[in-house]
Amino acid sequence: MASMTQVPDPAADSASCAGGHRHHAFDVAAGLLEAERVCTAAGESLTPLRRDVMELLLRAHGPAKAYDLLQALTAGAAKPPTIYRALEFLQRMGLAHRIESLNAFIACGIGACAKNAGFLICTACGWAEELLADPVNAALEGAASERGFRIAGAVIEARGLCRDCAPSVATK
């Protein structure tokens, strides 16, 4: 298999995933509408390419790797800068996030949040659930201010087992 991350082929549609059990998924249609709305509001354009990448992220069953997205675009004819540029744009719009500890990208699960989201990453099924990380950021702010440090942004990524996977791993 080319990769572990689940970038769907264009035909796939449902929320079934590699692990076999169905769970977690984005609402693709709603996500695309929201993306259009956000870009318009920002005076930017959700071009066909950017929209295609957004759709791939929304259909993915978890964080997607850049080169897998690249392969999924027009059957791999695109070159690396194509995908990195589209991802950078989507991140700038708050429509997607990069997960540093996975070198992967995911659609925003909260809705155009430009900053300081957090993720709970399941090591069993690969899903990453987004958090509004306000309490976490507040705790970070507290620690930072004690040291005279001014926070501009933060990476918050927890690894562990999601509700669905904790039982199956525990009983294994």
Binding footprint of its own copies on the chain (CB under 8 A): 100-101, 118, 120, 122-123, 129, 131, 133, 135-136, 138-140, 142-144, 147-163, 166
Q: Which stretch binds DNA (CB under 7 A): 56-64, 81-89, 121-129, 130-138?
A: 81-89
Q: For residue 65, state whether it binds DNA (rule: CB under 7 A).
A: yes
108 near Zn ion, judged by CB under 5 A: yes
- Cβ–Cβ under 8 Å, residues 129 and 109: yes
Judged by beta carbon, residue 104 or residue 117, the one nearer DNA is: 104
Q: Which does 110 bind (CB under 5 to 8 A by kind): its own copies, DNA, Zn ion, none?
A: Zn ion
Could you tell which of its own copies, Zn ion, DNA, none binds residue 1, using a CB distance below 5 to 8 A set by kind? none
Q: Is 76 in the site for DNA (CB under 7 A)?
A: no
Query: Cα–Cα distance between 129 and 73 in angstroms, integer?
Result: 25
Pick 48 or 142: Cβ nearer DNA: 48
Alpha carbon 28 to chain centroid, angstroms: 13
168 binds, among DNA, Zn ion, its own copies, none (CB under 5 to 8 A by kind): none
122 binds Zn ion (CB under 5 A): yes
Of 95, 117, 122, the C-alpha closest to 38 is 95
Contact present, 126 and 162 (Cβ < 8 Å): no
Residue type, 39: C
Under the criterion CB under 7 A, does residue 37 sit at the interface with DNA? no
104 touches 87 (CB < 8 A): no
Asked if residues 64 and 98 have their Cβ atoms less than 8 Å apart, the reply is no
Asked if 44 is part of the footprint of DNA (rule: CB under 7 A), the reply reads yes
Distance of alpha carbon 82 from alpha carbon 118, whole angstroms: 26
Q: What sign results for the dihedral spanned by CA atoms 161, 166, 171, 172?
A: negative
Using the rule CB under 7 A, is 50 a contact of DNA? yes
